[in-house]
Amino acid sequence: MKSIGETIASLRKKKGMTQNDLAEKMNVTDKAVSKWERDLSCPDINTISKLADVLDVSVEALLKAKKKDASSTKTKDLINVIFKAVALAMGIAVVVLNILNQIDVKSSIIMLGVGIVCISIYLLDNSESQN
């Protein structure tokens, strides 16, 4: 399900309007429209009806969109950083321990496998969220 901002952007583009065109019709700035579309703010409750009219949709269609949860986005970003950090740490550890002759081949393969799994999870998650 799309966020409110994604819904507004999609409907605006479908109508062939720029952010500036929508802003003029709504009597707001193009920066306000940009913030709506990036989910940094939402249209005022008093403007929802007019926005629905301008975009030729029902108010319900606009309000059905889910609001992006900032905390879940931050959590996802943190998890992505952790996956990348673990993968990098595994790679560096194998190189350093190998230079110091402090690791055997089996342990090296296991550590590199953990790194590859972390990167794979990160890449899979990001490819799914882009679709």
* Coil, helix or strand at residue 54: helix
**What sign does the CA torsion over 74, 75, 80, 83 have?**
positive
Domain spans in the chain, listed from the N-terminal domain onward:
4-64, 70-130
For residue 87, how many other CB atoms are within 10 A of its CB?
A: 20
Structure tokens at 62: 């606009």
Helices (H), the chain: 4-14, 19-26, 30-37, 48-54, 59-64, 70-99, 105-130
pLDDT tens by residue, 111-120: 999 999 999 9
Global pTM exceeds 0.75: no
Residue 82: pLDDT band by 50, 70, 90 thresholds? very high
Yes or no: say if 94 and 111 are a contact pair by the CB < 8 Å rule: yes
pLDDT tens by residue, 7-59: 999 999 999 999 999 999 999 999 999 999 998 898 988 899 999 999 999 99
Least confident of 63-67, 82-86, 121-125: 63-67
Query: pLDDT at position 62, please?
Result: 83
Length in residues, the chain: 131
Residue type, 23: A
Structure tokens at 65: 């969109």
User: What's the mean per-residue pLDDT of the chain?
Assistant: 89
Span 64-72, mean pLDDT?
65
Domain at 4-64: CATH code: 1.10.260.40
**What sign does the CA torsion over 72, 73, 74, 75 have?**
positive
Query: Which residues 6+ apart lie within 8 Å of 8 measured at CB?
Result: 33, 36, 37, 43, 51, 55, 62
Query: pLDDT at position 71, please?
Result: 64
d(CA 57, CA 99): 64
d(CA 116, CA 5): 35
pLDDT tens by residue, 92-105: 999 999 999 999 99
